[in-house]
Amino acid sequence: MGLFSKNKKEEKTSCCCGSCTPETMARAEAGKASGGVKVLGSGCAKCVALEQAAREALEELGMETAIDHVTDFAQIAAYGVMTTPALVVDGKVVSYGKVLKKKEVKALIQKIRG
């Protein structure tokens, strides 16, 4: 019986369902290199809530309140994030998959920028 000896074709997959091009990956890597605070996600209510909490935390800390909201899935995948919303501080993913409260965001920012 040849059930287990059949040759299977291996399919090549990419991080974003095959839509990666060298240009999109270069853009994603360039975005990772830049500092600041970023929210990664599609723009859903949870992403917006995380962005608002981050904005309030930065205001309380007296820091720059500019926050980038990354919605491009190729850029999100470049961070290794598979569950959104995610929070990135100075190029480092500090949280993913949940909406943080202002106090939690503030503690994470202080830890990274301490």
The pLDDT tens digits for 23-59 are: 766 666 665 666 789 999 999 999 999 999 999 999 9
Domain residue limits, the chain? 22-113
pLDDT at 35: 72
pLDDT at 3: 64
Among 16, 17, 20, 44, which one carries the catalytic annotation? Answer: 44
67 Cβ contact list (under 8 Å, min separation 6): 36, 37, 38, 39, 51, 54, 55, 58
**Fold topology of 22-113:** Glutaredoxin (3.40.30)
- Does 6 have pLDDT greater than 90? no
pTM: 0.73
Report the chain's mean pLDDT, rounded to a whole number.
Answer: 82
- Does 20 have pLDDT greater than 80? no
Check if 44 is active-site. yes
pLDDT at 38: 95
CA distances from 97 to 15, 22, 85, 92 (A): 18, 28, 5, 15
